[in-house]
Structures are given as C-alpha cells and as structure tokens.
Homo-oligomer: A and B are copies of this chain.
C-alpha cells in the first residue's frame, strides 16, 4: 500500500472534459484498461513528453498529431506500452486513433494515443478497438475516479487531485490524475498524467504554466532512476467556464500555484506508491550556488541504492548520505562547512558526525514513514527539493515477477 494513502480525494468534474472507461482484457480479464477522454471543441491542449530517445510509438504519434491539430480525444490503454515495437507499433498507434476518430466523427490527427505497460510486445489493437464504442457510450464528466483506476499498471492505488479556485472573473476547476510506480525518474517522470480545467487560457500561457509545474513536481521525483519510454503529461483547458485567465494578472498567479499544487501532489503520490516503497523521502539541498548543483546532489542521494536500503531498514546510516554528497560531482565543496539534517536532527557537521548526534535521535526520525534529508551546501542561495522512496524486498519482488 502506498505510503500515507488515505483514499482518492474528491475529484471535481471539469466542464467540457468527458471520460469513458472500458475493459479490453489486455493483460487481465475484466480489468479497466482503456480510457477515452473527450475535449470540448475549442479546448486548448498542451503536453510534455519523455526525453527517452527510444520513446514509444504512441509518444511519437501524439507529439506529431499535437503539433498539427487541436486534439478532441485522448485514447489511453494500460497493460501494453507499445514501446520497442518498431514500425508496426507506429502503425498500430495510428490505427487505434483512426478507429476512435471514425466512431467519434473527427479526424485521426485529432486523437492522441497513450500506452503504458509492458515494453516490447505488439499492441493488441483489436482488443482495444473492440471496446471503443463502449468507452464512448460511457463518456461523462464525473468519471475521473474511474479513469484514475483505468490508467494504473503496477500502481497499488489510484492518484488524483482536484482544486476549485475563485478568480476575479469567477470560479474555475482544475482536476488531475496520474499513474506511475516504476521506471520513474526525472525528465517526465509521470509516466502518464492528465490535468484538465474549465478555465479559458491561451495555449502559450498554458504551456508556460505546465512547464513550471512539471519542473517543480514530476521532474523532481525518482523511484529507480529509469526514465520511461512512455511518459506524457497532458493539460487541457476547455474554456467552458468562460473565466478567462490572462498573463501578468493576480489570476494567473493563483492558477499557476493551483496547478503546481496538483502536480506536486500527484508526483508525490507516485513516489508514495513507488514499487515496494515503505517510506516517502524528501531531499532538500539548500544554499547551493545554483539550482543545477542542488539538483545534482539531491538526485545522487535519491538514486543511491545504499541510501535507499538504509531507509528501508530504518537505519540512520548517515555515512551513506555523506558518501553520496561526496560523489555527486560538485567541485569545490567545502566539506568542513556542510551540514546534513535528518528531520530536525543534525547528523553531519564539519565533515563528521555532529557532536550532539546520537543513534537514538537518528533512529527516532527513521521510525517515521515520511522523512526529510536536508543538506546545506553553505555556498550560495539556490535550493532544490526532490522526492524518492526507499528500496525494499518488494521492489525486487515486483520487478523480478512483473512479466511472469
């Protein structure tokens, strides 16, 4: 079970954004595994995609279609990633869009495909297209919770977050869902996330908002350091509320902050549900020269299997954290100045164990299931925050058994 999971919160419907779910039996019979999302005519849509060079066929197709048309539908399947499938994979992705377009009465290029699941197996196109009429018939605005379930793979819990905010011209709703549990690291770590709002906003401004929000959320998490082939984060503004959000206003600040909040909540939810995770670890690196070096130190700690196994064991083995800081590749670190805190407890000072540190105090912090490591580089004003989870027996079990 995901760390600190208290059930899916209420996900408010977004006017102009309808969702239909169906069961194609891609991996398991009866499992909800196909989700169709419908964007009202006139919706604005922006996205961010994986930077993995071997990106999956649906990513290639979605990027291409998005560049040329305003999307009317998203077609999402779980159970099969359609990645490492060569030219046939591209054809299959295009075919799935064409079939949905035919049924919905739009152009193929107005349908964006998304797939997640096992890599390297042919997309079961027929199974998917067979249930499209059922998914279309089910389209409704209040299906967010079902969609959060319908995009899961190795996730143990659904992930969603929703806000209603009052702006100068009225109230708008923003709702988002995400899936992801393994093959998670920055450069689009979401695997898949869909966020919709009924606000009216220009495409370039919406893209800016999403860029900032993803940079502070999905690009700041790691479970295993493996960038996925299929990551995508899509944001849609249907405009149906009629509430216009413009640049350089107090409204856009409120709107941006709400999107950041949602993305941060969803990103943390992915880490909380990281494969085998028993702890959520927040790594803050402060007082660096620039954000880049702070991120570098934070991710080096976050990726260390030795640090992650120590957290699993609730062992305040701060030597492993210190070693990770040392090998992060930041030149000219003043080792005698750096301090490291575990929660409120100072563990490292002046290059060694803090004088007032005791194993008991460290162990007390480690007993929590949400822990913050804070590294003070004492050489600037920049900072960065990254989230990760521990490394448990279950991580090995899940990944050793995933295909069997």
Contact = CB atoms under 8 A, between A and B. Distances in A.
A28 interface: no
Interface stretch (A133-141, A232-240, A323-331): A323-331
Contact of A118 (B319, B393, B396): B319
A227 B404 CA distance: 34
Contacts of A322: 54, 83-84, 119-120, 229
Given A320-B119, A396-B312, A86 B226 contact: no
Number of copies: 2
Interface stretch (A142-150, A210-218, A302-310): A302-310
A333 to B, nearest CB: 5
A84 B353 contact: yes
B53 A319 contact: no
Interface stretch (A13-21, A70-78, A155-163, A344-352): A344-352
Given A89-B352, A304-B225, A304-B226, A183 B323 contact: yes
A335 B305 contact: no
For chain A, give the interface size range.
35 or more
A360 to B, nearest CB: 14
23 contacts: A53-B328, A84-B319, A84-B348, A86-B353, A87-B351, A87-B352, A119-B323, A120-B322, A182-B306, A183-B306, A224-B304, A224-B305, A225-B305, A227-B326, A228-B323, A229-B326, A306-B399, A309-B395, A310-B399, A312-B400, A315-B402, A317-B403, A391-B396
List the 5 closest pairs (A to B, CB-CB), nearest first: A119-B319, A86-B352, A54-B326, A313-B400, A309-B399
